[in-house]
Structures are given as structure tokens and as C-alpha cells.
Chains A and B, each alone.
Chain A
Amino acid sequence: MSRSEYIDELRNLIDDLAAAGGPGLWAGLVELGLPRVGLDEDRGGSGGSFDDLLVVVESLAGHGIGVPIIEASTADWVLGQAGRLDDGLSTVLLLDAAPDAVSGTVDAELSSVPWARDATRLVLCAPGVTPLLVDLGDATVTLRKVDNLAGEPRDTVVLAGTPVTAVEGAPAYGEVRERLALLWSAAVLGAAHGAYRLTRTYVSERKQFGAPLLKIPAVAGNLARMRVQLVQADAALALAREAAPLTGADEIARITTAAAATEIARIAHQLHGAMGITQEYPLHRLTRRLWSWRDAVASERSWAESLGMRAADVGESAVWTRITAPSRAINDEECER
């Protein structure tokens, strides 16, 4: 998968939308079809590639914008593979185990459902089963509002005898998880770049002791540490974009971007001093998202554990072969967990 050829156009478009800002932003994005980039037009998508979508997600995140684009685009991708999309906001939730839905209805308390209060549909994905579609407008559905650290909806949804339908022809759980992993990696990377840009501008312009902060060697060193983290995170995402069939590339991207998020948020605040902790100054819009998003869907720790587990299982030689070989040289047997 080569890097999107529309990369500059898409970025400029997002820059303009971000500059306009305001509560109408999501509506503007929907109107332009951006949440459905990377979905086939004959299914109701906007066309373009998955890589275009990654650029959109990364750019929005770079402005510290929190919108349901990852959840909506992923839910629509699941639904679009099974049939044609219609309007309305869909969201998605990954579960460790499928809820019991023998009679076509479900009883469950689902926590951390992203944007549930705004969505009309919820797609539930669990290992080994067909995804289930829930109508959030159904009378049996109740909802408790919960926000994450970034102030984004992560509601608790209670299903009590709620009718569900299986989304036949939908992609498997693993594919959905991998797609989410790449999209969240792109979001974290975008916010990390945003925090870096803000910090670099601040230390270049803000003067203390008669000179820009950047003249202080410890400040310059810390800015370089941020850059080094970005270099690493950029490379991890590039690897994952190009190595889609490579097992573990999604985990590598999540682990690397999460680690970068941690370091970058910490240094960005350190270099901003007290200015960075005010409501008024925009840094927190980025750092609160870095803290929330680095562990979204699954934590850095859990990605690392599963990657480490597999590495130990297959042994050094297979690990090395896997990370050095071109993807097509990896056979299915090797990809087994």
C-alpha cells in the first residue's frame, strides 16, 4: 500500500475545516464524505483508499479534533461489506466474547461504547462470531453518559432483551481489530505531531533570561527527544501500512505510537511550563487525547503481551525471518498464533 497520492489535498482540506472549527465540524466532514473515504462508492462510500482515510484521521488528530471518524468509518466498513450503507451515525465495539443472542435478543451491559449517545447503530464484534447490529434507538436500550479523559463519549449501554441482527458477509473480528489498530495508530501519531508542532513554536517564540527557550540546551535536548519519538512512530505506521499481511504489524504500530504518545505528552507539558496546563491554551486538547487514545480499544500493555507471547512461541529464528522477510514470503502456517 503506497502512501496516499491525495495526501497534501486531504491535509489542506482538514486544515481549512479545522480553522473554521465550531460545532458544525462533524456535519461538515459528513457532507464532504470524509468519514466514508476508503469505502466503495457502489456501497454508499466515498471511494478512495484506506490510506486516504488514515491521512484524514491523522490530520484531524493533529488539530486536537475529536470526532467519531474512527468508529463510524469502521462500523460502516463492516456494514458496507454486507450490504449498502444508508445515512446515520454508526459506531463499533469490540468484545472479548460474543453476547448470548440465541433468541435474536441480547441482555448485556456494555461499557465504553464510543459516541453511543450520538449514534443510531452499534456494531458488536467478537472473536469467532458474525458481527451483531444493534439499533440504539430501540426502546429496550438505555444509556449512561460517560466521557473519557479527552471529554469524548464512552457511554455505558444497557441492552435488555434488545433485538439484534447478524451482519452476514461482514469481515472477521481479527480484520476489524487490525483496522481499528491502524486507525488509532494514525490518530495517536497525528496528535503527537500536533503536540510537537505546538511545543516547537512555543519554545522558539517564548523568551526567558533574554533569549528564546530553545537556546537553553536542556530545552533543545528535550525537543530533540520528541523528534526522535516521532521518527520512530512515523516508521512504525509506515511499516504497518505497507505490511498489512504481516502478522504483528498492527501491534507494532500500536505499541510504538503509544510509547511515543507517553513521552511526547510528558515532554510537551514540561517544555510549556505552567502555560500548558491552562484550559485556555490548546495543548491539553492534544495531550488529553494522547493519554486517552494510546490505550483505546486495547492497551499498549495488552498489544505488547500478545506480540511477546507469539514471539516466544515461534522463537528467535521465526521472529527474525518475519520482521526481515518480504510479506509474501510468510506462509499461512507461520501466521498461526
Chain B
Amino acid sequence: MDHTPGTDSCAELRTQVRELTAEWRDAGRYTPRSDSWLRSFDLEFSKELAARGLIAMTYPEEFGGAGRTNVERLAVTEELLRAGAPVAAHWIGDRQIGPAVLRHGTRRLQQEIVPRIASGEAVFCLGMSEPEAGSDLASVKTTAEQVEGGWLVNGHKIWTTQAHHATHAYLLARTTRGERKHDGLSEFIVDMDTKGVTVTPIVDLAGEHHFNEVRFESVLVPAHRILGEADQGWKQVVEQLSFERGGAERALSSYPVLVELIAETARRRNDRELHALLGSLVARLAVLRRLCFDVAGAMDAGQAPVQQAAALKYLGNAFEHDVIEALRRTDLCQDPSFDGVFGQALLASPAFSLRGGSAEVLLSLIARQEARS
């Protein structure tokens, strides 16, 4: 497994993250949990990572980045997820928005936004989904109308994770109404403290608050906050989705459960069925890691591996679910509690294959490419 680009530096980065997470955990500053990239918010931890150059890793140094490869970044994100560390404050900005601004933003926008993501100051939420749209990302009703000095935004977004903590929103809005719903869309960066932005919580089935609704009422977004060209947003969104889908968080959301499963299997020396189950899960994990590595490598080569990322997310989400079901097989899970490893993961699990595209949508995306090839 000689992943040549930066094999040694990857090993070193892994060690660095392991030491940091162990230190925080031992000091009681966080408890490892499933789905930490979405649910475990700690700005201080994110700033600590930033100070060590462990976020914005792939960004150019002039914008506060580390100028490293996506493969090196993968080593860090894998270790953070494995440790169940509190990374939600920077995850979306670091993973998705920074790279999008670097690819499509004007220099002014890059200078304004990217260093703040790199330092952990800017916290992003994603204003993509809308109440009536479901998985149909392109059926955007939120509008941005060109006015003196910028764009006037009106609309309503939903399932906006961490919007109540966010300093910025990424916003997908309709700038022209055309024949096809994929045309006429544009991407914007909006300050959450702008007049007219309101955030209302949506409490999830676990009683936790991560989701929100966000309303935009006559919100004025400065002209330079448009990302890329007006009306050409869809192509950028599709590309951005390979950043969103192709990461290790699509396979490791329930990793703390796997940790428990390995320990429990060791205790049950004679349960051959359970050993076989664990073996097949370990095989799947090893393969998923390889796919993450391939996607990161493709990104380093300047590609947007849309189909690979979709396949990875589909397989990864199935794995995340199956790990939880496997632990259930041990009877360790009778009367699960809200804050136990199993209960937490189970309550988080319905979202695994929804966010970033449902399993069915991913399959239809893959099928379309198959029909074409």
C-alpha cells in the first residue's frame, strides 16, 4: 500500500492527530461520538487544528493554507473521524467552501473568505436544500435579483446544519428563470449577520439541535459575493458535490460503533458467526479507504471524480448502517440509551444516506453515466 505521494508525511500527520485527540480526550475536553463531523461542535478545537495547519491543508499558503495534497488531507480527516473528534465547526467550510471559492471566486473574494476558513474563524452552513425540493437540488425557488450594489435575496432554506453557529452561509439561488431548472442558478457567500437572515431550529429525533431553517427576506448580498459566473452555478455545484461526497466522512460516521464491535468480538471467542461478520466489515472498510484514497488522488490530479465519489458515498453509507446492525447482533444493545455508543449512532443513522444525496439519487446518477458510456 505504498501511497507514494507523501507516504511519510501522511504517517507523520496521523501521529500528530492521534496525539492531539488523545490529549483532548484524556483531559475530558470531548467525548468521542458517532457523526462527530456534523454533531460535535467546538470552535476552540477547530482553532487548535487551524493553528497546527491541520485545516485548509490543500489551500495555497498565500491564503493561510498548507499547500498540501488531498491525499495528505485524507490522512488527517480519517484520524479525526476515527477519534470521533469535535470537528463540526470547520468541516463544511474546510471541505467544500474553501475549495469552491479557490476554484471559482474572484481574487477579492478569495482574500476575504479563504484565510478566515483557514484560521477557523469562518463557520459555514450550506444553503442548498429547500422545503419543497427534497432530493431535487436544482428545483431552487430562492431568488437573487440584481440590484444597485449587489443582489437582493429572498427565499427559504432547510436542513441547514449548524446555521445557528455559522458566520457565513453558502447559498444556491435562482438568478434567472429559464427553460431548464438547472440553468439560471448562481452561488453566493452570505454573512449570517446580514439584516433579513433569520435562523429557526429544527430539533431532530434524538432531541438534538443541528438542523435549522434559514429565511432570507430582502437580504442584500454585495456584488463581489457571487461565486463564479451568474447563471452558471449548476456545473460548479456538481463539481462541489464530489468534494462533498467523496470524503472519509461518508464511511466513518459510525466508527465508534466499529471500535465497540471489535472489542466485543474479542470477548466472544467462540462466536464464529460474529468473527465472520467482523471480517467482512473490516474488508469493506479497507476497500472504502482505498476508494477515498482514489478520489483524493483524482482531486490532486485536478479532476472532479463525480461517479467515483457517488459510488463511494453509496457504499460508505451502507457500511455505516451495517456496522450498527452488526453490534446489535451481540445483544450489547438491549435497551439502548440516548448517549450510548449504539444509541447515538442509531439515532444519527437515518441521515447517513440522505445528506449529500439519497442512495436512490446516487444510483440514478451512476446509471445515467453508465447509459452514456
Contacts and interface: CB of A to CB of B under 8 A. Distances in A.
Nearest to B291: A235
A320 B82 contact: yes
Contact of B370 (A223, A306, A309): A223
A303 interface: yes
B364 A252 contact: no
Given A224-B363, A316-B259, A326-B3, 13 more contacts: A220-B368, A227-B370, A236-B283, A239-B290, A252-B286, A252-B287, A308-B265, A308-B281, A309-B275, A311-B262, A315-B266, A324-B14, A326-B7
11 contacts: A228-B366, A231-B291, A300-B280, A303-B279, A305-B272, A307-B279, A308-B274, A315-B263, A320-B82, A324-B78, A326-B11
Contact of A217 (B262, B274, B364): B364
A303 B363 CA distance: 29
B329 to A, nearest CB: 12
**Residue of A225, A236, A305, A308 with highest tally of chain B CB at under 10 A:** A308
B120 to A, nearest CB: 25
B311 interface: yes
Contact of B279 (A223, A238, A251): A251
Interface in A188-239: 200, 204, 214, 217, 220-221, 223-225, 227-228, 231-232, 235-236, 238-239
Given A227-B311, A304-B276, A328-B2, A235 B282 contact: no
Interface string A319-337: 1100111111100000000
A271 to B, nearest CB: 12
A256 B283 contact: yes
Interface of A: 200, 204, 214, 217, 220-221, 223-225, 227-228, 231-232, 235-236, 238-239, 242-243, 246, 248-249, 251-252, 255-256, 259, 300-301, 303-309, 311-313, 315-316, 319-320, 323-329
A304 B284 CA distance: 11
Given A239-B286, A252-B286, A325-B1, A308 B277 contact: yes
A326 B75 CA distance: 12
A68 to B, nearest CB: 28
Q: Which of A204, A311, A319 has the most CB of B within 10 A?
A: A311
B166 to A, nearest CB: 32
Contact of B1 (A204, A223, A246): A246
A305 B283 contact: no
For the residues of B in contact with A, the DSSP-based class is helix
Contacts of B276: 301, 304-305, 308
A295 to B, nearest CB: 13
B287 A243 contact: no
Contacts of A327: 1-2
A231 B316 CA distance: 12
Nearest to B268: A312
A231 B294 CA distance: 11
B321 to A, nearest CB: 15
A110 B171 CA distance: 69
Contacts of A224: 362-367, 370
Smallest CB-CB A-B distances: 3 pairs: A308-B279, A304-B279, A307-B279
A249 B1 CA distance: 10
B370 A200 contact: yes
A28 B14 CA distance: 52
B282 A307 contact: yes
A195 B282 CA distance: 27
A320 B258 CA distance: 11
**Residue among B262, B282, B364 with most chain A CB within 10 A:** B282
A266 B333 CA distance: 33
Contact of B283 (A228, A255, A301, A329): A255
Interface in B263-316: 263, 265-266, 272, 274-287, 289-291, 294, 308, 311-312, 314-315
B279 A236 contact: no
B132 interface: no
B274 to A, nearest CB: 7
B23 interface: no
Nearest to A255: B283
Contacts of B262: 311-312, 315-316, 319
Contact of A306 (B3, B263, B279): B279
A238 B290 contact: yes
B360 interface: yes
A308 B278 contact: yes
A312 B290 contact: no
Nearest to A300: B280
Contacts of A204: 371
A312 B275 contact: yes
Contact of A232 (B2, B82, B315, B367): B315
A206 to B, nearest CB: 14
Nearest to B318: A228
A272 to B, nearest CB: 16
A228 B280 contact: no
A257 to B, nearest CB: 10
Interface string B223-263: 00000000000000000000000000000000000110011
A224 B364 CA distance: 7
B370 A305 contact: no
A331 to B, nearest CB: 14
A161 B209 CA distance: 76
A307 B363 contact: no
B13 to A, nearest CB: 11
A311 B281 CA distance: 10
Contact of B364 (A220, A259, A307, A312): A220
> In the complex, which of the residues A235, A242, A309, A323 has the most CB atoms of chain B within 10 Å of its own CB atom?
A235
A252 B11 contact: no
Interface string B188-213: 00000000000000000000000000
A231 B308 contact: yes
Contacts of A309: 275, 279
A179 B294 CA distance: 25
A141 to B, nearest CB: 36
Given A242-B2, A308-B277, A308-B280, A323 B367 contact: no
A304 B368 CA distance: 34
A252 B263 contact: no
A41 to B, nearest CB: 27
A256 B274 CA distance: 18
